[in-house]
Amino acid sequence: MSSGCETYHSAVGERAGGAGSGLQCRYRARGCAARVARKVGAVIAGFSPALVGLLAAVVVVAGVVNGLAGFGFAIVGTMALATVLPPATAVVVMLVPMLAANVTLVTELSGPELKRCSRRFWPLVAATLIGTLVGMAIIDSLPGAPVRVALGVITLAFVVNRQSLVPVSALGGEGGPSGAGGTSGLARDGPVVMVVVGAVSGVLFGATNVGVQLVAYLRSFDLSHGLFVSVVAMVFLGINAIRVGAAGVLGLYPSLAVFGLSLAAAVPTVVGVALGRRLRRRVSSRQRQVAVLGLLTLIGVRLVLGGLGIA
C-alpha cells in the first residue's frame, strides 16, 4: 500500500506544481484515506453481513456506554462479542475500537491534569503496561470455557462493587492515602500497592480486555471526575496504542481480515461515543448507573452460563 500512496503522491505533486504545499497535502491525505478505505472494505467483505452488523451494533452500544459513564467500552464490547466469538478473537477485534474510544476521551483532558496524573500514577501505568504485554503473550494458551466464566464473574463482581443497594467496602478500606498505621510504601496510593495492582490488572487486561479492576481501584481514591477521566485515559490510551502493535508482532490476529474488521469498527465506535456524550447531558447520574450496571449484569450472567455450558 505504501508504494501505491507514493505513486499517487508523485502524480499529485506534478499536477499541483506551484499550487502550494497545502493543496498537495490535502490531495495526499484524501488519496491515502480512500485507498485504505477500499482495502479495508475488500478485506472485511469475506465476513457475513450478520457478523459485521452485529459488530457495528456492539461497538455503537459500547461507545454510548463509554460516552455516558466515562468508562465501560472495553468490558461491554468484549463481553458481548465473546458470546458469539472465541474469547481470544473477541479481545483482538476490540483493540482498535478501544483505541478510538480512548482518543475521544483524551480530547476532554487538559495539559495540567495529564501532568498531575503522570506524576502521581506512573508506577501503576508502568506495571500495568508490563502486565498487559504478559497477558497478551499467554492469551492463546487460555482455555475458552473457563475464560468465559472468569470474565463473567469479574463483570458481576464489578457490578456488585458499583451498586448502591447493598454497601460494599471500597478497595483499600478507610485508611486514607497513608493507610492506618502503615508505611507510605504500603498505602493504597503508595508505589508498592500500585505496582501489584497494576501488574495483576495488566495481565487480566492483556488477556481479556477486562479493565474493571483498574477502574475500581482508581474509583476507590474518590477522585474528582476530571482527574478520574485523566487517569483512566492516561492508563488505557497509551497501553491500547502499544497493544495494537504488540498484537501484530505476537501474531494474535488470526488473519488480515480480522484486523481489517477491527479497523473498520473504529468508525461506529466514534459515532457511539459521540451519542453517549450527548446523552450524558440529558440523563441523571443515577439513570446512567442503572443503565450501565443493568447491561453489564446481563452480559456477565450470559458469559457465566455460556462458560458452564448452560446457555
The domain locations on the chain are 1-45, 49-307
Cα 169 to the center of its chain, rounded Å: 26
φ, ψ dihedrals at 309, nearest 5°? 80, 15
Q: What is the pLDDT of residues 124-163, one digit of tens each?
A: 989 999 998 888 888 767 677 787 788 788 778 878 877 6
The residue among 61 and 42 whose pLDDT is bigger is: 61
- CB atoms near residue 244 (< 10 Å): 17
Count Cα atoms within 13 angstroms, Cβ side, for 77: 37
| Cα separation values, 128 from 10, 168, 198, 245, Å | 44, 25, 4, 16
SS in 3 state form for 12-60?
HHHHHHHHCHHHHHHHHHHHHHHHHHHHHHHHHCCCCHHHHHHHHHHHH
The residue among 21 and 56 whose pLDDT is bigger is: 56
* Overall pTM surpassing 0.75 (yes/no): no
| Cα separation values, 271 from 100, 145, 200, 276, 281, Å | 10, 32, 32, 9, 17
Count Cα atoms within 13 angstroms, Cβ side, for 137: 8
Share of the chain above pLDDT 90, in %: 13
Q: What is the pLDDT of residues 158-193, one digit of tens each?
A: 788 776 665 555 444 444 444 444 444 467 778 899
Let me know: does 274 contact 266? Beta carbons within 8 Å. Answer: no
Residue 21 has pLDDT above 70, yes or no: no
Please calculate the CA angle 250-255-260 and round it to the nearest 5 degrees.
105
Cα R_g (the chain), whole angstroms? 21
DSSP 72: -
Share of the chain above pLDDT 70, in %: 74
Let me know: does 206 contact 134? Beta carbons within 8 Å. Answer: yes
